[in-house]
């Protein structure tokens, strides 16, 4: 039987220039894809461009470290095969990515000719639905749409896209150049061809695709990670210990490189706030046993602390300060 041709998208659009949206776009541009980031306003451009500039510096610094000490600093997203690694070529790819990445505020212009759209807007259900309803009539028929949601299920949004068969989830880990996984999750109406295309695309820009055949809120990574972050926040807001001591208890005891508050600073406090808000709804929606398990969390305290930090502009690593200072 003749094999289907590989999915080779020429134009990729990333909707949203947040922490992960910027990383996905830069990585896709780094491997040579034609990439456009759609942003809501000119103000969004002024917030996104510094993230891209910082990513350029990070890639350059990482490549130089890989050249000096590959055993310690290797980043598979930058160069998956050590045998073919050439620092000079990788640095040229970084320059090309930074030069060719496009930022666009006009939605119709951004979506024109798109082979793949990766939605990375705020982790708020109503905002995602509004976005999908807006793009449903603008997308070319060929476009595959993927959500980068970290907790919400693709079936929640499928009907709003106008193309449920060409819709699924592709979730990426933070520090995409280093932790190069892509969780690919279908929903009941996702076509097999779309699922296979998403797997192929992930491979095309140096990601390790992790197939998820059944919908699960939190996917694989966040099903394990979010309880850690909630537990850390709960200890802090209830006055049990300070963030640095909670982090030390975790990192020293387990050997993990980061504790929950260091991870929150990487993820971003706004995203964490949205996740806390989503999980706060769980007790009222699910079975009595799960409700009993989730109630000990002080969600009100978590939201209050996160909201205070966000109001002060302490958004995490990208703003220079979150629970820790980075300047």
Q: Give the CATH number of the domain where residue 261 resides.
A: 1.10.1040.10
User: For residue 297, what are the domain limits?
Assistant: 224-319
> Do 30 and 82 belong to one domain?
yes
Q: Which of 183, 212, 241 is the last residue of a domain?
A: 212
> Do 195 and 253 belong to one domain?
no
> Do 279 and 198 belong to one domain?
no
> Do 203 and 247 belong to one domain?
no
Asked whether residue 1 is domain-assigned, the answer is: no
| pLDDT tens sequence across 76-114 | 999 999 999 999 999 999 999 999 999 999 999 999 999
> Do 162 and 238 belong to one domain?
no
Instruction: Check pLDDT > 90 for residue 282.
Output: no
pLDDT of residue 286: 46
Asked whether residue 219 is domain-assigned, the answer is: no
> Do 97 and 161 belong to one domain?
yes
> Do 40 and 95 belong to one domain?
yes
Distance CA 240, CA 98 (A): 45
Q: What is the 3-state secondary structure (H, E, C) of 184-248?
A: EECCCCCCHHHHHHHHHHHHHCCCEEEEECCCCCCCCHHHHHHHHHHHHHHHHHCCCCCHHHHHH
> Do 244 and 192 belong to one domain?
no
> Do 33 and 178 belong to one domain?
yes
Distance CA 59, CA 55 (A): 6
Query: How far from the centroid of its chain's Cα atoms is residue 169's Cα?
Result: 11
Asked whether residue 44 is domain-assigned, the answer is: yes
Q: How many domains does the chain have?
A: 2
| pLDDT tens sequence across 180-216 | 999 999 999 999 999 999 999 999 999 999 999 889 9
Asked whether residue 4 is domain-assigned, the answer is: no
| pLDDT tens sequence across 297-312 | 899 999 999 999 999 9
> Do 238 and 95 belong to one domain?
no
The phi-psi region of residue 316 (left if phi > 0; otherwise alpha if psi is between -120 and 50; otherwise beta) is left
Asked whether residue 303 is domain-assigned, the answer is: yes
> Do 130 and 228 belong to one domain?
no
Distance CA 216, CA 151 (A): 8
Distances from the Cα of 121 to the Cα of 46, 124, 214, 281, 297, angstroms:
16, 8, 23, 20, 27
């Amino acid at each position: 039987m003749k094999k289907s041709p590989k999915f080779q998208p020429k134009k990729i659009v990333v909707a949203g220039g947040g922490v992960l949206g910027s990383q996905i776009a830069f990585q896709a541009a780094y491997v040579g894809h034609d990439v456009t980031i759609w942003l809501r306003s000119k103000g969004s451009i002024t917030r996104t461009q510094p993230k891209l500039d910082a990513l350029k510096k990070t890639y350059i610094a990482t490549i130089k470290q890989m050249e000096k000490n590959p055993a310690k600093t290797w980043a598979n997203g930058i160069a998956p095969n050590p045998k073919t690694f050439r620092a000079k070529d990788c640095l040229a790819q970084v320059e090309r990515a930074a030069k060719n990445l496009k930022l666009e505020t006009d939605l119709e212009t951004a979506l024109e000719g798109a082979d793949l759209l990766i939605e990375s807007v705020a982790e708020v259900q109503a905002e995602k639905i509004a976005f999908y309803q807006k793009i449903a009539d603008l997308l070319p028929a060929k476009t595959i749409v993927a959500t980068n949601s970290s907790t919400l299920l693709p079936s929640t949004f499928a009907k709003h896209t106008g193309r449920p068969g060409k819709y699924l989830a592709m979730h990426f880990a933070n520090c995409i150049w280093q932790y190069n996984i892509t969780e690919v999750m279908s929903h009941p109406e996702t076509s097999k061809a779309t699922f296979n295309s998403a797997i192929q695309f992930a491979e095309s820009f140096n990601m390790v695709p992790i197939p998820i055949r059944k919908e699960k809120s939190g996917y694989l990574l966040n099903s394990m990670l979010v309880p850690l972050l909630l537990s850390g926040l709960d200890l802090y807001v209830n006055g049990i210990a300070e963030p640095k001591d909670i982090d030390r208890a975790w990192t020293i005891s387990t050997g993990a490189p980061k504790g929950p508050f260091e991870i929150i600073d990487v993820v971003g406090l706004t995203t964490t706030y949205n996740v806390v808000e989503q999980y706060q709804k769980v007790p009222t929606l699910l079975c009595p046993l799960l409700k009993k398990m989730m109630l000990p969390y002080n969600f009100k305290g978590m939201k209050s602390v996160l909201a205070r930090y966000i109001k002060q502009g302490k958004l995490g690593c990208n703003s220079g300060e979150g629970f820790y200072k980075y300047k």
